[in-house]
Structures are given as structure tokens and as C-alpha cells.
Amino acid sequence: MFKLLMNTQGRNWKEYLTPQDEEKINEIIKKVAKHRGAYSHADDTKNAQLWCAVLEVNIAQDAMDQRLSELEGVFESMFQRMRFRENEKRELHKSLETF
């Protein structure tokens, strides 16, 4: 598989990515390197490295899910306050009309 990612001249396959994508790949590789102690003991190191990359993606997704939940809570409380204020205004208008 690795040979497929390299051309016949041995050039780095990442050279064919956009600079932004190459930068992202390099960041992923750095994150996966944290798990070197685990994947270096695997029978199939390349496969284990890919699973470590999947793990890093999952960790990032969990962090995003947590942040999204926090933002949803903030927006929900804002909307509750807005609804409460609207209800208060309606009640005030009704009481003024009946007065």
C-alpha cells in the first residue's frame, strides 16, 4: 500500500495535496505519534497507526460534541429568557387593556 502512495521517483505523496491539506496531515501525524508506544508493538504497524488516527478523530469529535452541547445549553437558556420576557410583555399588555 505504501508503494501506491509514492510514485516511481520516490516522491512524497503529500506533495500532491494542497498546502492546507498537507499541513492538516502533518498535524494528524503528530497527534498519532503520541501513540507510538502502542502501535510500535503491533504486528501490523501501519494498520495500528491508522487505528490510532481514527482514535484521534474520535477524540476530536468528542471534544466538539461537548462544546456543541455547552453552546446548545447557552442558547436554550437565552431563548427561555426571551420567551419569559415576551410572556411578561403579553401579560402586561393584557392587564393594561383590561384596566
pLDDT per position as a tens digit, 40-99: 999 999 999 999 999 999 999 999 999 999 999 999 999 999 999 999 999 988 888 887
Alpha helices in 11-44 (DSSP H): 19-33, 36-39
Q: How far is CA 14 from CA 20, 29, 33, 43, 65, in A?
A: 11, 12, 17, 26, 30
Residue pair 29/12 in contact (Cβ under 8 Å)? The answer is no
Total count of domains within the chain: 1
Letter for the amino acid at 88?
E
81 alpha carbon, distance to own chain's centre: 30
Task: Quote the pTM value.
Answer: 0.65
What tens digit of pLDDT does each residue of 1-30 get?
Answer: 444 444 456 678 888 999 999 999 999 999
Q: What is the domain range of residue 94?
A: 2-98
